[in-house]
Structure 1
């Protein structure tokens, strides 16, 4: 049995792992290219008790640039910083 795990990162709202044994490699690529899957943390291929990280391969096939994780969620970081500042302000 072979299937794919697509981990999507929603920032402060959490993460979601999309696992569907009926989704093929071609369909994963199609969903990435169409924009249905965004903010992908990783894509794993699971086949015969082996796990392979195929994120770079799939993104290359979908013709999307590999975007670095650093600074990906700047708005959430700003909100966290503002919240931390409010915790320490005088009342």
Structure 2
């Protein structure tokens, strides 16, 4: 019976170690989930900030072009041409619907 008791005690110790390792892994998993959620929020905030900054940058370029800045004059011409093309497409669609 001594050998059986020894085997049982060893098995019981290993079981406790396994349960303890499982609990530690479970805690680590929860911690990592929280970290992932925090990083997702941070990424979302950063993306929206980048979009806002890009929009602000575009507006500043257009404002500089309107002020006559030589560097941005070409940009303004391209933008005006794009808007004219969009208007032409709209006018054509309206004529098509009426006709």
Do they fold alike, i.e. is TM over 0.5? Answer: no
Instruction: Answer with 1 or 2: which has the greater Rg.
Output: 2
How does the TM-score come out when normalised to structure 2? 0.27
More RCO (CA 8 Å, sep 6+): 1
Higher relative strand content: 1
How does the TM-score come out when normalised to structure 1? 0.29
Higher relative helix content: 2
